[in-house]
Structures are given as C-alpha cells and as structure tokens.
Amino acid sequence: MAAEPFDVIVVGSGAAGGTAAYALTRAGMRVCLLEAGRFYDPERETPMFQRTAAAPLRDAGTPDKPFGFYDATVDGGWVLPEEPFATAPGTEFRWFRARMLGGRTNHWGRVALRYADHDFKAYSRDGYGADWPFTYAEFASWYDQAERLVGVFGSNPGLPDQPDSPPGCLQPPPVPRSFERLIMAGGRKLGRPVVASHTAVITRPSNGRQACFYATPCLRGCSIRANFQSPTVLLPPARETGRLTTITHAQAYEVELGRDGKARGVHYVDRLTHRHHFVAGRAVMLGASAMESVRMLFNSKNSRYPQGIGADSGLLGCGVMDSTGSNVWGQFPQMENLPPFNDDGAWLPHVYIPWWAWPEQRAGKLPFARGYHLELYGGRLEPSADTFDFFDSVSPFTYGRKLKAEARRYYGSFVRLSQRGEMIPREHNRVQIDPVLKDAWGIPSLRFDVRWSEQELRQTAHAQQSMAEFIEASGGKLVAPLPQDPAQAILPPGRIIHEVGGARAGVDPEKSVTDAFGRVWGVPNLYVIDGGVFASSAHKNPTLTIVAFALRASDHLKRELHHA
C-alpha cells in the first residue's frame, strides 16, 4: 500500500475509476481509490457452479437482488434505502446502483461496441444535441487499447455503423447457439445483418487470464477472470504496482479547491462510522458513475462556485440520457421438443443485430434521427423462475400429464429481442440537487427530470415492428401482439442502465462542463472520467467508450503531472 501524499485521488472503482487506477499506477503514480461499497473478491465470492435449485426462490429476482440471488450485485438495486433520489412530478427514472468494489462491472451485460465517426458528430449530422470534442480518428487508438485491456470477442464485418477493429484487438467469437442461428436465418431472408456480438469475454487465454470455459452464468461474475470485471481485470495489476491504496466504505461528497483554484483533495464520509475524512492529492478524477459524479460536482460548493464546481455554464446536470429499450418475445416451433444438448456457450450474446438502416437514416428517409441495435436473449439456458412466464398464453389451463408434456415441449423455445436505441440529449432532461432530500450520511440527493420525446417514441415504434419482422422471418410467432402505442412498449428512462451525460465534454466552456479530456472548465486538475462526459449516447452500450475515455484522460493527466 502506498503512503500519502497521493498523486491522484480517484473516486469510484467501476469501469471508469478502475481504468484510471490501472493506467495511473502503471504509469508510476500513487493513487488513492475511494469506493463507497465494500471490498469484493470475485475469485473467492463468485457462486459460479452453484445451481438454481439451491438458491432461495430458485434465484428469482427480488427487491434485495433484482437480477436474482446469485447475481454479482452487492448492496445494490433499484431502490437503496440509504440513498434515495427524487423524480420530478409526472416523470419516471430508474437508477440501478451497485455499492461494491468494481461497481456495476461485476454484473453488466458486457456488450461492448465502438462508436462510429458519425456518432461523435451527432450534432453536425442532424442538428440535435452536441458534437463530441474529438473525432473517431482521434479516439480510435484508445478503443484499440480498451478492447485489448477489457478483452472483447467480436468480428469485423465492415458495416457502415460499426467500425472494424485493427488486427489483434478482438478475440475470436464463439459459434452461434441454436436460437441465434434461427435469427441469423431470418436476417438472411430479410436482407438484414446478424453478426458476431462484441462481448467482453475472452475466448483465448491472455494477459494472465483464462479463456471462457462455456459453462456458467456470466452475470454472477467469473472467478477465472474470463469476462470483464474491474476487480478481476483492472485492480489486480494496479495493486501489483504497490502504488494503489484502496479505501472502501468511503462515500466521497466534495472536491475541495485550494487558493490557486485547483483541486486539492476530496472529502468523504465513512459509511460505517459516519466519520468525515479528507484525502489530499495533486489531481482528482471522478469516476463514481455519471450521475454520482455530477452530484459530487453540485455538492462541491465554495465562494468561487456557489452553485457547485462546473456549474458556471448552467449545463451541469443537463443532457441526461439512457438508451431506449423495448422487448418483443417470440416463440419458435422449431425449438420445441429438441433432444438434450449443451447450448450454454459464453452465456452472453454471441450474435446481435447491428443498426442496418443507417444509410437510409442518413438520407433522411426515416421519421427519427437516431438508430438502434437489437440484442437477442433466450433459448436453452438453465430453466429459471422466468421459464414459465408465458405459459398462460401458450398453454393456458393445462394440467396433469398434458402440462408436463407442454413443459418439455416449450422449454427453450422462447427468444427475446431487445431494442437498444439512441436517445437525443436535451438540456431539459436533467438532474439537479433536490432541495430537501438527503442520503443517510446527510449528503444532498439528486432529483431526475427525464422524459422521452417523440423521437424516441417513433424509433421505438420502428424497432417494435422490426423485432416482429425478425421473429416472423425466423419462423417464430409473437407471444403477444405489439402494443398499438410505442409509449406502452418503451421502458422508462434509466431502465436500460446506460445513464450518461450531465457533465458534457466539449470545446467551448460556455457550452460544456469539461474539456475534451474530461477536465472541468476552470479547474485544470479535476477530471470527470465516467459517462458524465458523454455529449451524445449512440445506441452502442456505453462502457467500452467509458473505458477508452478514462484511458485517454489518464494518459493526459500523466503528461500534465510530468510537466509540473
């Protein structure tokens, strides 16, 4: 463990903070990592081979463990009694958090897609939102590094909306599973691509990590380190440098500035003792997750920044985004009564449906400006508490021998298609500090005011239709008719757990909160390195971009400290 003084205080140990801790310690810097949750050791704690039969309620989701008993979320969920938040009247927001070493990287869905050049130029392309302060060409090498560090399988089919990776970045994807092959056949009929997913699982041993052995549910975590979790991939090499100090149960709440206007350290409260502490460093990086980092900036008030650090432009907290999401379920007669066989694979998606209509959209032929992709789930995974969800529609009223025959017949024959779409950033979609609400440690809480617009609804109507087409072209039947109104299909904001924005990176201090490296305007040694900086949020799941951005910001800080 390194002793004070620290070079850098990093807040949060998930995708963003874990990446910074990794990159900075390896570059020779002494890092103090503040993590609100408890220490977590996936190699010791992961219930990899525990069976569903042994779990309370057979692993069904509960408010304590929304994704099931074995899920790799500790002290998390949609509702945290100690950490309330508010939603503006007439709005909804879902906010999933995990208070543990590694944050939500322990559980995440691991779909890891690169943004394309046009994603970084969202405003220039259609006049909505803002451009990023760099181009794909300027950012691409950070994606290369991020893919190699994280470990991502995938392929390079040369699609207009999905940049190819240079050789050596991606691992070979596993072959598709039964249900994925059906959808691929449907895609061929429709003339739409179904290609290898980019998923954060390694299929070849690398960096001292074992390859996936195709046997256990990924969302529980992976003690052999074949999938990406901050505590298995990022933190061990950071610890090995001897330059990492990790303080758990440390709820950071304020960045303190010195007389020179620079960040001098971070105040935190120990969640167990309720004692307050201060830790000093030469620079501060906020990677507490987008909304938490914004909250910390708001709560860092002083005479120079009475509304909070970074609030000068009036844009702090503005432009909050999630991915759009909706589902359509299909039932596939071809999948009924199949003989027993092992179709676990790498558990997470092997294939996905990229956004095929981007050329059409660019030509202005679609009634919505931003795209989506489709993810596939289902098939013959281990029977679970959800397996019989559709029995009231596919086999109502059956019982006795008939019911048992129906259970054998239908098991494994359902596939869910899931839309993941781009939401247009709008300034009125924002978080602010709630005037009264505080968490259990007395720290002011956030209030969300986020709504879908017509754009997201029209995109969802299109996605619903497309998902139905895919199911039917693949020989399946819709489990339920599509809702007439896309507002009934679209999930509430926050539900896809891709919440980003609120501390937008840009080139103009009047129109952004941070510069292109995540440095808060006016405070040159204070960086935001998580999803907060997103100027737009392509339909591509955010975490790979968060890791790449954090690598780039860490490299920038290394140079800055070197000069000083």
Partner 1 sequence: MPDRRETLLWLLRALALSAAPGMAIGSLNAEPRVIGGTAGAAGPPAAIHGIDADGYGRDPDLRHPRVTWPLTLEPEQKTAVAALADALLPAEEGSPAASALGVPDFLDEWISAPYPQQRTDREVILAGLTWIHSQTAHAHLSAASAEAVVARLSALAAAGREPQAHFFSRLRNVCLIGYYTSMSGVAQLGYVGYQPSATFKGPPPEVLALLGV
Ligand X SMILES: Cc1cc2nc3c(=O)[nH]c(=O)nc-3n(C[C@H](O)[C@H](O)[C@H](O)COP(=O)(O)OP(=O)(O)OC[C@H]3O[C@@H](n4cnc5c(N)ncnc54)[C@H](O)[C@@H]3O)c2cc1C
What residues numbered 268-327 form the site for ligand X, per CB under 6 A? 287-289, 292, 296
Burial class, 356, CB count within 10 angstroms (exposed 0-12 / middle 13-18 / buried 19+): buried
Burial class, 180, CB count within 10 angstroms (exposed 0-12 / middle 13-18 / buried 19+): buried
Please pick, from the candidates 251, 455, 459, 466, the single residue that binds ligand X as defined by CB under 6 A. 251
Q: Output the smallest distance, CB 421 to ligand X, in A.
A: 14
User: Using CB distances below 5 to 8 A depending on partner kind, what does residue 201 bind out of ligand SF4, partner 1, ligand X, none?
Assistant: ligand SF4
Q: Output the smallest distance, CB 206 to ligand SF4, in A.
A: 13
User: Using CB distances below 5 to 8 A depending on partner kind, what does residue 227 bind out of ligand X, ligand SF4, partner 1, none?
Assistant: ligand SF4
Looking only at the bridges linking them, the beta strands covering 244-247 and 31-34 are parallel
Instruction: Convert 156-176 to b/e letters by CB count within 10 Å (16 or more is b).
Output: beeeebbbebeeebbbebbeb
User: Using CB distances below 5 to 8 A depending on partner kind, what does residue 16 bind out of ligand X, partner 1, ligand SF4, none?
Assistant: ligand X
The beta-carbon contacts of 295-298 under 8 Å, at least 24 apart in sequence, are: 295/431, 295/433, 295/444, 295/445, 295/446, 296/11, 296/252, 296/253, 296/254, 296/255, 297/255, 297/503, 297/513, 297/520, 297/528, 298/432, 298/433, 298/444
CA 462 to chain centre: 24
In order of 110, 154, 349, 544, the CA distances from 170 in angstroms are 14, 6, 15, 13
Examine residue 104 and tell whether it contacts ligand X (CB under 6 A).
yes
Please pick, from the candidates 110, 271, 370, 430, the single residue that binds ligand X as defined by CB under 6 A. 110
Examine residue 216 and tell whether it contacts ligand SF4 (CB under 6 A).
yes
Q: Output the smallest distance, CB 150 to ligand X, in A.
A: 10
Examine residue 543 and tell whether it contacts ligand X (CB under 6 A).
yes
Examine residue 421 and tell whether it contacts ligand X (CB under 6 A).
no
Examine residue 68 and tell whether it contacts ligand X (CB under 6 A).
no
Run of H or E including 393: helix 391-394
Terminal Cα-to-Cα distance of the chain (whole angstroms): 24
The Cβ-side half-sphere exposure at 195, using a 13 Å CA radius, reads: 20
User: Using CB distances below 5 to 8 A depending on partner kind, what does residue 111 bind out of ligand X, ligand SF4, partner 1, none?
Assistant: ligand X
Please pick, from the candidates 11, 146, 285, 369, the single residue that binds ligand X as defined by CB under 6 A. 11
Q: Output the smallest distance, CB 222 to partner 1, in A.
A: 12
Examine residue 12 and tell whether it contacts ligand X (CB under 6 A).
yes
Q: Output the smallest distance, CB 195 to partner 1, in A.
A: 16
Q: Output the smallest distance, CB 119 to ligand SF4, in A.
A: 28
In order of 173, 286, 314, 392, 466, the CA distances from 432 in angstroms are 42, 18, 11, 44, 37
Examine residue 103 and tell whether it contacts ligand X (CB under 6 A).
yes
Examine residue 201 and tell whether it contacts ligand SF4 (CB under 6 A).
yes
Contacts of 136 (CB under 8 A, 6+ apart): 115, 116, 117, 119, 120, 163
The secondary structure of 158-193, three-state, reads CECCECCCCCCCEECCCCCCHHHHHHHHHHHHHCCC
CA–CA separation, 336 vs 407, rounded Å? 10
CA 163 to chain centre: 19
Nearer to partner 1, 79 or 357 (CB): 79
User: Using CB distances below 5 to 8 A depending on partner kind, what does residue 218 bind out of partner 1, ligand X, ligand SF4, none?
Assistant: ligand SF4
Please pick, from the candidates 107, 177, 267, 373, the single residue that binds ligand X as defined by CB under 6 A. 107
CA–CA separation, 521 vs 506, rounded Å? 10
Closest CA to 268 of 17, 10, 448, 526: 10
User: Using CB distances below 5 to 8 A depending on partner kind, what does residue 340 bind out of ligand SF4, partner 1, ligand X, none?
Assistant: partner 1
Please pick, from the candidates 7, 35, 161, 422, the single residue that binds ligand X as defined by CB under 6 A. 35
Q: Output the smallest distance, CB 545 to ligand X, in A.
A: 8
Examine residue 78 and tell whether it contacts ligand SF4 (CB under 6 A).
no
Strand order of the β-sheet with 372-378 is: 195-196, 351-353, 372-378, 414-421, 324-331, 477-478
Examine residue 227 and tell whether it contacts ligand SF4 (CB under 6 A).
yes
Under 8 Å between Cβ of 444 and 83: no
Nearer to partner 1, 84 or 237 (CB): 84
Candidates 14-22, 44-52, 221-229, 478-486 — which segment interacts with ligand X by CB under 6 A?
14-22
Burial class, 563, CB count within 10 angstroms (exposed 0-12 / middle 13-18 / buried 19+): exposed
Q: Output the smallest distance, CB 318 to ligand X, in A.
A: 18
Q: Output the smallest distance, CB 121 to ligand X, in A.
A: 21
Examine residue 226 and tell whether it contacts ligand SF4 (CB under 6 A).
yes
Query: Mask of contacts with ligand X, 481-500, x by CB under 6 A?
Result: ----------------xx--
User: Using CB distances below 5 to 8 A depending on partner kind, what does residue 324 bind out of partner 1, ligand SF4, ligand X, none?
Assistant: none
Candidates 212-220, 325-333, 361-369, 406-414 — which segment interacts with ligand SF4 by CB under 6 A?
212-220
* Residues near ligand SF4, by CB under 6 A: 201, 212-216, 218, 222, 224, 226-227, 346-347
* Residues near ligand X, by CB under 6 A: 11-17, 34-37, 96, 98-100, 103-105, 107-112, 250-252, 287-289, 292, 296, 497-498, 530-531, 541-543, 546
